[in-house]
């Protein structure tokens, strides 16, 4: 070590930070510097270089430790800002905010880089209060003269939904960069809709790849497949904006959320045809494709992409396991878990996905084994793991056992755990336990009336109309309404949306004629309406109750699909709420009578109806 000058050591550490393969070498050098005492030599600044090495490598535990060891007199604002930005980059958002406060307290100079980092953290956390304080500080220190600071401030307000503040800041800018325009575009598309967003897009003097991606993703999310394809082709083939890893993943994410398989396949083909091996083999793109195909209902393609990936990480495995769980492929997940362990180390999300898969497939014993194996991998059970186990036991009808597990949790149960148990009580008719759970939920979240609606439905199923009327009256007086069910179906590149009893579709008359035909045929095959699924069974007679069930949004969507597609064409329907018991029973019979595969993605999972049965095996 004596033969190397401090300057050479610092240069070598910088080189190590730029190559992940040299991370171990950098740590070994740290050990040598510590044991030799060189690190503590006055004005050597070796500790500063070690800190920069760990921060650049993402090892925030060691970065923080070395940073704290550096004497205050030898820390400059570059060190402080590096720690601030590194904490933000690697997800330690609250720690980053605390560090900013410490920087102010110790009178560290705040530059535009630190300000950009601060507003980025506030945007991710959607912390408007802290962001507004930062805004005031930026004005006081004259930092808003920087376009980058203004852009990050606008983005913070945009993420928090304050469109007016974004527009005001934008108008104040003397120099409006393409990033400034893009921030406004993203904000307007998200909060004011596509029409206003398109106006901003058309006004932009210059458009970068991010602006195009925001607009295309907006069209995809809204179901405008034709417009999205036109814009994509213009972006790529006319304007020459190639899709990089970030834009590909953004578009695939939009497709996954909206269930748009047409655009998802277009993006996949584009990635394959670029001819760049790195693009096709990139782990982020592969993972996004696995996720997209699974969430669009094509789990076989998801598995195929997964198997063709040459590089996979724990995120890739988690995406596949989550997709398989949604499709009721719990046994496949259990069988693949040993393969995963040989390849990567499972994390908390892995076990959440595996437990969810067990829950959706009714694999109680396998779920227990998975839950008990958490500590074997150095993990402690988290709230999400308990929530999955409570859900698993509840779906299997073991309500008392689920409640016992919840009471024995090492962490307090949250709204998800209690809500899951309440849902299971509803399915299995455990009214006494449901009343107890509902009281706890009301204390935890007084403004959420969804739980009272669930309990009200349970009272209705028990024939206690007096209690139902009292609860419904109370909710009406408080202006509380049930979230309306909405179902959408993709047909020939277009999305058609339906609500319960919807008559706004141009082909409404034909749809309802088809509905009458379907109801008549499935009644002949043994379908009996499940009237207890109705919201207000005490207020209408039996015939009206059965009629109301016929008009549920997913039935209308399926009837439209039967009407406009060729025989034996699979139908893909996406619903914002959990499919009700009546529609679930009806779809099984429809799939058999009409020889159709019907795939419905509800709020929780996929239901693949085929030949009179469902992939969930009634574990839903």
Are the C-beta atoms of 78 and 109 separated by less than 8 Å?
no
- The Cα angle at residue 114 between residues 110 and 117, in degrees rounded to 5: 155
* CA–centroid distance for 339 within its chain: 26
| Mean pLDDT (10-residue bins), the chain, 620 residues | 63 73 73 70 71 84 87 85 91 92 90 93 93 93 92 96 95 92 96 93 93 91 83 88 86 89 89 67 90 93 94 96 94 96 95 94 94 93 93 92 91 88 88 89 76 78 74 67 81 85 92 94 89 51 61 94 94 89 92 95 89 82
Are the C-beta atoms of 114 and 120 separated by less than 8 Å?
no
- Of 75, 106, 124, which residue constitutes the final position of a domain? 75
Place of tokens 């609500």: 499
Q: Is 210 within a domain?
A: no
**How far is it, in rounded angstroms, from Cα 108 to Cα 29?**
30
Q: In this structure, is the dihedral angle defined by the CA atoms of residues 434, 440, 443 and 445, taken in order, positive or negative? A: negative
Two tokens, residue 211: 């602006």
Kindly give the interhelix angle for 6-17 and 23-36, rounded to the nearest 10 degrees. Answer: 150
Q: Is 187 within a domain?
A: no
Q: Is 525 within a domain?
A: yes
User: What pLDDT score does 542 carry?
Assistant: 47
Q: Is 586 within a domain?
A: yes
Are the C-beta atoms of 489 and 561 separated by less than 8 Å?
yes
Two tokens, residue 197: 């967003």
- Of 24, 54, 75, which residue constitutes the final position of a domain? 75
**How far is it, in rounded angstroms, from Cα 40 to Cα 299?**
57
- Concatenating the DSSP letter of every residue in 508-519 gives HHHHHHHHHHHH
User: What pLDDT score does 615 carry?
Assistant: 86
* CA–centroid distance for 589 within its chain: 33
User: What pLDDT score does 241 carry?
Assistant: 86
- Of 75, 108, 128, which residue constitutes the final position of a domain? 75
Place of tokens 């579709």: 505
- Total domains in the chain come to 2
User: What pLDDT score does 537 carry?
Assistant: 45
Are the C-beta atoms of 385 and 371 separated by less than 8 Å?
yes
**How far is it, in rounded angstroms, from Cα 271 to Cα 249?**
11
Place of tokens 């171990």: 24
CA distance to 56, 214, 253, 260, 574, per residue, from 264 (Å): 34, 15, 9, 6, 16
Q: Is 614 helix (H, G, I), strand (E, B) or coil?
A: strand
Q: Is 389 helix (H, G, I), strand (E, B) or coil?
A: helix
Q: Is 282 within a domain?
A: no
**How far is it, in rounded angstroms, from Cα 209 to Cα 499?**
36
Q: 570: left (phi > 0), else alpha (psi -120 to 50), else beta? A: beta
Are the C-beta atoms of 553 and 499 separated by less than 8 Å?
yes
Q: Is 518 within a domain?
A: yes
104: burial class by Cβ within 10 Å (0-12, 13-18, 19+)? exposed
Are the C-beta atoms of 385 and 374 separated by less than 8 Å?
yes
User: What pLDDT score does 280 carry?
Assistant: 57
- Smallest CA-to-CA distance from 226 within 488, 490, 489, 487 is with 490
Q: Is 204 helix (H, G, I), strand (E, B) or coil?
A: coil
**How far is it, in rounded angstroms, from Cα 586 to Cα 442?**
34
* CA–centroid distance for 602 within its chain: 15
**How far is it, in rounded angstroms, from Cα 239 to Cα 431?**
62
Q: Parallel, antiparallel, or unpaired for β 486-491 and 494-499?
A: antiparallel
Q: Is 24 within a domain?
A: yes
pTM: 0.78
Query: With DSSP H G I counted as helix, E B as strand and the rest as coil, what are the percentages for the chain, rounded to 5?
Result: 70, 5, 25
344: burial class by Cβ within 10 Å (0-12, 13-18, 19+)? middle
Q: Is 118 within a domain?
A: no
Residue 45 domain boundaries: 6-75
């Amino acid at each position: 070590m004596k033969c190397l000058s401090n300057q050479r050591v610092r240069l070598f550490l910088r080189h190590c930070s730029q190559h992940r393969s040299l991370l171990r070498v950098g740590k070994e050098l740290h050990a040598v510097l510590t044991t030799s005492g060189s690190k503590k030599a006055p004005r050597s600044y070796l500790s500063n270089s070690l800190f920069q090495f760990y921060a650049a490598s993402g090892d925030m535990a060691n970065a923080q430790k070395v940073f704290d060891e550096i004497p205050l007199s030898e820390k400059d604002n570059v060190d402080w800002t590096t720690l601030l930005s590194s904490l933000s980059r690697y997800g330690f958002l609250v720690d980053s905010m605390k560090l900013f406060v410490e920087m102010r307290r110790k009178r560290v100079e705040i530059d535009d880089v630190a300000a950009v980092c601060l507003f980025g953290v506030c945007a991710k956390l959607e912390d408007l209060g802290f962001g507004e304080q930062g805004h005031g500080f930026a004005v006081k220190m004259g930092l808003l003269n920087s376009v980058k600071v203004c852009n990050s401030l606008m983005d913070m307000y945009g993420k928090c939904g304050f469109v007016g503040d974004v527009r005001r800041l934008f108008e104040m800018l003397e120099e409006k960069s393409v990033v400034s325009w893009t921030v406004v575009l993203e904000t307007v598309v998200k909060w004011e809709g596509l029409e206003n967003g398109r106006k901003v897009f058309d006004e932009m003097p210059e458009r970068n790849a991010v602006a195009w991606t925001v607009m295309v993703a907006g069209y995809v999310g809204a179901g405008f497949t034709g417009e999205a394809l036109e814009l994509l082709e213009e972006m790529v083939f006319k304007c020459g904006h190639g899709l990089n890893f970030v834009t590909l993943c953004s578009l695939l994410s939009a497709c996954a959320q909206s269930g748009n398989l047409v655009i998802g396949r277009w993006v996949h083909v584009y990635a394959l045809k670029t001819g760049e091996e790195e693009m096709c083999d990139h782990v982020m793109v592969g993972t996004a494709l696995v996720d997209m195909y699974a969430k669009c209902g094509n789990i076989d393609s998801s598995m195929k992409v997964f198997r063709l990936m040459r590089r996979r990480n724990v995120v890739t495995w988690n995406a596949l396991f989550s997709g398989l769980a949604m499709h009721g492929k719990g046994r496949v997940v259990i069988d693949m878990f040993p393969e995963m362990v040989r390849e990567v180390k499972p994390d908390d999300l892995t076990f959440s996905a595996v437990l969810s898969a067990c829950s959706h497939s009714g694999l109680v014993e396998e779920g227990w084994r998975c839950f008990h194996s958490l500590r074997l991998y150095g993990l402690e059970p988290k709230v999400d793991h308990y929530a999955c186990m409570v859900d698993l036991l509840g779906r299997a009808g073991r309500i008392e056992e689920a409640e016992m597990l919840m009471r024995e949790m090492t962490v307090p149960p949250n709204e998800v755990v209690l809500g899951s148990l309440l849902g299971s009580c509803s399915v299995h008719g455990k009214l006494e336990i449901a009343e107890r759970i509902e009281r706890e939920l009301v204390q935890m979240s007084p403004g959420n009336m969804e739980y009272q609606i669930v309990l009200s439905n349970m009272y209705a199923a028990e024939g206690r109309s007096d209690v139902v009327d009292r609860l419904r009256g109370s909710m009406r007086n408080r202006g509380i309404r049930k979230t309306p069910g909405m179902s959408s179906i993709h047909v020939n590149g277009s999305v058609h949306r339906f609500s319960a009893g919807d008559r706004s579709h141009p082909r409404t008359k034909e749809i309802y004629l088809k509905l009458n035909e379907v109801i008549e045929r499935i009644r002949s095959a043994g379908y009996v309406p499940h009237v207890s699924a109705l919201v207000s069974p005490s207020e209408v007679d039996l015939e009206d109750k059965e009629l109301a069930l016929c008009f549920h949004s997913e039935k209308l969507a399926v009837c439209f699909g039967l009407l406009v597609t060729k025989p034996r064409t699979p139908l893909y329907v996406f619903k914002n709420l959990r499919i009700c018991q009546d529609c679930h029973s009806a779809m099984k019979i429809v799939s058999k009578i009409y020889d159709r595969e019907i795939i419905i993605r509800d709020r929780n999972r996929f239901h693949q109806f085929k030949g009179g049965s469902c992939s969930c095996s009634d574990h839903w």
